[in-house]
Structure 1
Amino acid sequence: MSEGLNLLRIQSPCFVLNEQEFKQGVHEFDAALSHHFLHHIISYSVKTNSLPYAVAKAKDFGCFAEVVSDDELELALACGYGMKEIIFNGPMKSKSRFLEAVMNGAVVNVETHREIAWLKELPADGHYKVGIRLSVNISDISPEDAEGENDFSRFGFNDVTEEFSNALEAIRSIPQVRLAGLHIHRTSHSRSVRFYQNIVAYAASVIKKYQLELDYLDVGGGYYGIFHNAPTFDEYAEAIYESLQKQGLEKLTIIVEPGNALTAAAFSYYSRVIDTKHLPDCILLTTDGSRNDVDPFFRKERYMTEIHREKEEAEVVPLQIVAGATCLEYDQLFRLENQPELCVGDMIEYKNVGAYTLTLTPMFINYFPRVYSLSSDGMKLIRDKWTAKEYMQKSNI
Structure 2
Amino acid sequence: MKEEKLETPYFLLHEEKLERNILELKAALKVYWNNYEIGYSCKTNSTPWIMKYMKKYDIKMEVVSDNEYLLAEKVGYKNKEIIFNGPNKGKKIFKRALLNGGYINIDSLNEVEWLEEIDSNLLEEVEIGIRVNFDLEKDCPNETAYLKDGSRFGFSYENGDVLKVIERVNKLNNIKIKGLHIHNTTKTRSIRAYESICKCACKIAINLNYTLKYIDIGGGFFGGVPGKTTFNEYLERISTVLKTTFEISKTKLIIEPGSALIGSPIDFVCEVIDVKDTFAKRIVTVNGSRNLIDPFFMKNSYFYNLVIKDDRKIKKEQIICGYTCLDNDRLMRLENNQELKRGDIIIFEKVGSYTITLSPLFIEYFPTIYVKKKDNEIICVREKWSIEEFLQKQIF
Give the alignment's TM-score, normalised by structure 1: 0.95
Instruction: Name 1:80's counterpart in structure 2.
Output: 76
The Cα of 1:31 is off from its aligned counterpart by 0.9
Structure 1 equivalent of residue 382 of structure 2? 383
2:59 is the counterpart of 1:63: yes
* Residue 314 of structure 1, aligned match among 298, 312, 315: 312
Spell out the pairing of 1:1-397 with structure 2 (5 A cutoff).
6-125=2-121, 126=123, 127-143=125-141, 145-147=143-145, 149-150=147-148, 152-251=150-249, 252-311=251-310, 313-377=311-375, 378-397=377-396
Pair 1:212–1:158, CA change in 2 (3 A): farther
Question: SS of 1:120's equivalent?
Answer: helix
Q: Which moved more, 1:157-166 or 1:139-148?
A: 139-148
Q: CA deviation at 1:319?
A: 2.0
Separation in structure 2 between the aligned mates of residue 326 and residue 148 of structure 1, nearest angstrom: 31
CA distance in 2, matches of 1:28, 1:343: 40
CA distance in 1, matches of 2:392, 2:336: 48
- Is the Cα–Cα contact under 8 Å of residues 44 and 66 in structure 1 kept in the other structure? yes
Query: For the residues of structure 1 that align with 2:118 and 2:45, how far apart are their CA atoms?
Result: 33
> Structure 2: 5+ residue runs without aligned partners?
none
Distance 1:148 1:357 in 2: 23
Query: Displacement, 1:29?
Result: 0.7
User: Does the 8 Å CA contact 2:3/2:378 hold for their aligned counterparts?
Assistant: no
Offset of residue 283 of structure 1: 2.4
The answer to whether the Cα contact below 8 Å between 2:144 and 2:185 also exists between their aligned partners in 1 is: no
Are the equivalent residues in 2 in contact too, given 1:200–1:240 (CA < 8 A)? yes
AA at the equivalent of 2:117 = E
Report the residue type matching 2:135 in the other structure.
N
How many residues align? The count is 392
For residues 305-356 of structure 1, what are the alpha-carbon distances to aligned partners after superposition, in whole Å with 9 as ceiling and x for unaligned? 1100122x11222222111111112211112222221111110000110001
SS in 2 for 1:8: helix
Deviates more, 1:248-257 or 1:277-286: 277-286
How far off its partner does 1:273 sit?
0.6
Matches of 2:302 and 2:14 in 1, distance apart?
A: 18
Distance 1:281 1:37, change over 3 A: same
Residue by residue, what CA displacement relative to the aligned partner does 1:128-163 show, whole Å, maximum 9, x if unpaired? 111111112212233363457536211110021132
Gapped regions of structure 1 (runs ≥ 5): none
Is 2:35–2:248's contact at 8 Å kept on the other side of the alignment?
Answer: no
Is the CA contact 1:142–1:199 (under 8 Å) kept in the aligned structure 2? Answer: no
Whole-angstrom CA distance in 1 between matches of 2:321 and 2:309: 19
Q: Distance in 2 between matches of 1:237 and 1:32?
A: 7
Q: Percent identity?
A: 36
What do the CA deviations read for 1:44-92 (whole angstroms, capped 9, x no partner)? 0000111111111111122100000000001111111111100000111
Q: Partner letter of residue 55 of structure 2?
A: K
Alpha-carbon distance in structure 2 between the residues aligned to 1:74 and 1:365: 29
Q: 1:317 to 1:37 in 2, by over 3 A?
A: closer
Q: Give SS of 1:152's match.
A: coil
Contact in 2 for aligned 1:273/1:288 (Cα 8 Å): yes
